[in-house]
Amino acid sequence: MKLRAIYGAMLGAALLGSLGATGAQAADAVTLQLKWVTQAQFAGYYVAKDKGFYKDADLDVTIKPGGPDIAPEQVLAAGGADVIVDWMPAALAAREKGVPLVNISQTFQKSGMELTCAATSGIKSPKDFPGHTLGVWFFGNEYPFLAWMAKLGIPTDGSAKGVKVLKQGFNVDPIIQKQADCISTMTYNEYWQVIDAGFKPSDLVIFKYSDEGVGMLEDGLYANGKKLADKAYADKLARFVKASIKGWEWAKAHPDEASMIVLDNDTTGAQTEKHQKRMMAEVAKLLGDTKLGYLEPADYERTVSILLSTKSDPVITKKPEGAYTHAIYEAAMK
């Protein structure tokens, strides 16, 4: 009897261990593809993972950093991610080409894109652009610039009445080496790299895309629209969005701590504490004040309208249908 009791206890323990292992494996896997490298631009997602918000939502989240040779839209199309962080112009352009991207939540509700010019260039307003060289990011990031030039009626062919476009790498070298009069920058990143390179604010003339009426939606969450009808998939995304918003709320309330969490996740060692804390402070300004993660229809319509305005070389040729949904956000907020 004693042996039976011991065997029974051992069997019970084994069963409990098996059930525990099964429970641990039951968490739904989600892969998030970032638009760029690990930095405070994505702090909310790293915070949600570090603080256990994803785990509490029964999610096992893998965060994949981006880079200059990674197109999030292609990663999602190939099945390499469940959700991607993308700018709406690039997402809508990819959607028109057949990638079933649907915006499920809008993290950045304000644009951080700007054109930073050397004051010595003589550029004081957009009407001074013709005859100058402007650094522009490509790989989908050129769309806001092209829309702006189309609005101004300025050719981008390098002609006397137009501007010469320099294909800018993801750095600020062109303005430092005087290869370009102006370069593309983000309020939370490259602008500060220019400052760190020795420029003073008085040495620069800044044009914010939002101030020029061409500010478009940037970092949003996009998923595979063809799978949204699957209730289990939609539920998983809703839990992901809810936990991510919680991560962003925490990051906004604890910017310095959030920056350190980002640094802990930077496997390259390229980021610095000073830069990440500065970036987090600027990123916080781009988040929604009351409905973080909510896509305002008016902002979507404005972005689409600007994209459709580029008649000569249109980013999109027709108004998209079904390019966003509030269903996931609303489920997340319940």
Say whether pLDDT at 205 is over 50: yes
User: Is CATH 3.40.190.10 correct for 113-208?
Assistant: yes
* CA gap 105, 83 in Å, rounded: 10
Mean pLDDT of the chain: 91
Say whether pLDDT at 125 is over 60: yes
| pLDDT classification of 18: cutoffs 50, 70, 90 | very low
User: Is CATH 3.40.190.10 correct for 27-109+217-332?
Assistant: yes
Say whether pLDDT at 1 is over 60: no
Q: Are 75 and 84 in contact (CB under 8 A)?
A: yes
| pLDDT classification of 271: cutoffs 50, 70, 90 | very high
Instruction: Determine the pLDDT at residue 8.
Output: 43
* Rounded mean pLDDT, 122-136: 97
Q: Are 210 and 111 in contact (CB under 8 A)?
A: yes
Q: What is the Rg, in whole angstroms, of the alpha carbon atoms belonging to the chain? A: 23
Instruction: Determine the pLDDT at residue 312.
Output: 67
Say whether pLDDT at 137 is over 60: yes
Task: Tell me if residue 204 falls in helix, strand or coil.
Answer: strand
The verdict on pTM exceeding 0.85 is yes
List, by residue range, all CATH 3.40.190.10 domains of the chain.
Answer: 27-109+217-332, 113-208
pLDDT above 70 covers what percent of the chain?
92
Instruction: Determine the pLDDT at residue 285.
Output: 96
Say whether pLDDT at 192 is over 90: yes
What backbone phi and psi angles, to 5 degrees, belong to 320? -65, 155
What backbone phi and psi angles, to 5 degrees, belong to 284? -55, -30
What is each CA distance from 123 to 115, 134, 141, in whole angstroms? 11, 11, 23
Q: Are 307 and 89 in contact (CB under 8 A)?
A: yes
Instruction: Determine the pLDDT at residue 23.
Output: 45
Instruction: Determine the pLDDT at residue 303.
Output: 94
Instruction: Determine the pLDDT at residue 14.
Output: 42
Say whether pLDDT at 100 is over 50: yes
* Rounded mean pLDDT, 18-45: 82
Instruction: Determine the pLDDT at residue 22.
Output: 42
Say whether pLDDT at 318 is over 60: yes
Strand partners, 64: 33
* Rounded mean pLDDT, 179-199: 97
